[in-house]
Amino acid sequence: MAVQASAKRTGYEKWRDGVDKAVGDPKWNEWDCEIQMAVNEYNRHLSGTAGYVQLDWQFIKAILWVESGAANADWKNRPMRIGVPGDPGLSSLLSGNEGGNLILPAAWKGKLTVSSARAIPTHNIRAGIGYLLMKMGQYEYRSVPDADSKIYEVVVKAGDSLEKIAKAQGSTVDTMKALNPTASILRPGQVLKYRMASVRRVITGWRKISTALMAARYNGGGDNNYEMKLNHALNLLSKGTTRICTK
């Protein structure tokens, strides 16, 4: 009967049996300091951005325990498993097409690459955190002033429009409307104010991080038990110990 009961255990139950042994095993805490350091880098970089709420590093440790864990070969070089064959997450983050360029701290732009994230564990951890935060961000394209805050003037010519002038002068229609609120109809010889600006993707808000959202947006639905695994890992982490890291 015992053999039959064992054979009927689900994949989740087998995973749970394995991860339950992690509590108290120092190997499973190997990346604690690196995770804390990386999360602090992102928290400093994104602090004050559209109401950003500081990320709890234990969420990231839970992902590592679910994604790989000390018993998995990937634990030593790709603990968050971002960039494994068939995973589009790493390319999505580094391409900048989904907002990754706004998420990555300046010090890691150009330093974090596809090849480095696949081979160096500290890079893989930062790539995984960056991808998670990218998927938690909300974005819009908006008119953004350039660093040059000088106000310039331009004379309207026949056939001009705000769109045409903005494009020619390196500004945006929204910026010109704000500086010229009465210029609804343009006349040749009219003097308009403008400043340098461009339309860019910006972060406008953040989804509240939860294990359900992490399962949906980090794992992408590939594992139906992902949320349950994260919750179990977080529960174990609350009972265990973490490495003491120097600041």
Rounded to whole angstroms, the Cα distance separating 12 from 228 reads 9
Indicate the DSSP class of residue 139. E
DSSP states along 173-238: HHHHHHH-TT-SS--TT-EEEE--EEEEEEEEEEPPP-HHHHIIIIITTS-TTHHHHHHHHHHHHH
Structural domain including 59 reads: 9-139+203-239
For residues 89 and 207, membership in a common domain is answered with: yes
Neighbours of 15 (CB within 10 A): 19
pLDDT at 198 over 80: yes
For position 121, what pLDDT does the model report? Answer: 97
For 64-83, write each residue's pLDDT tens digit.
Answer: 999 999 989 999 999 999 99
Residue 246 placed within a domain: no
Residue 245 placed within a domain: no
For residues 156 and 232, membership in a common domain is answered with: no
For residues 178 and 119, membership in a common domain is answered with: no
Taking the whole predicted model, whether its pTM rises above 0.85 is answered as yes
User: 135, 217 in Cβ contact below 8 A?
Assistant: yes
Residue 55 placed within a domain: yes
Residue 78 placed within a domain: yes
Query: 60, 54, 207, 191: which is closest to 128 by C-alpha?
Result: 60
For residues 158 and 43, membership in a common domain is answered with: no
Here the CATH number for the domain that contains residue 161 is 3.10.350.10
For residues 20 and 121, membership in a common domain is answered with: yes
* Three-state SS at 154: strand
For residues 64 and 43, membership in a common domain is answered with: yes
For position 9, what pLDDT does the model report? Answer: 82
For 214-247, write each residue's pLDDT tens digit.
Answer: 999 998 778 999 999 999 999 999 887 667 776 6
For 143-160, write each residue's pLDDT tens digit.
Answer: 999 999 999 999 999 999
Neighbours of 54 (CB within 10 A): 12
- What's the pLDDT band for 1 if we cut at 50, 70, 90? very low
For residues 75 and 91, membership in a common domain is answered with: yes
- Domain total for the chain? 2
For residues 83 and 189, membership in a common domain is answered with: no
Span 132-152, mean pLDDT? 95
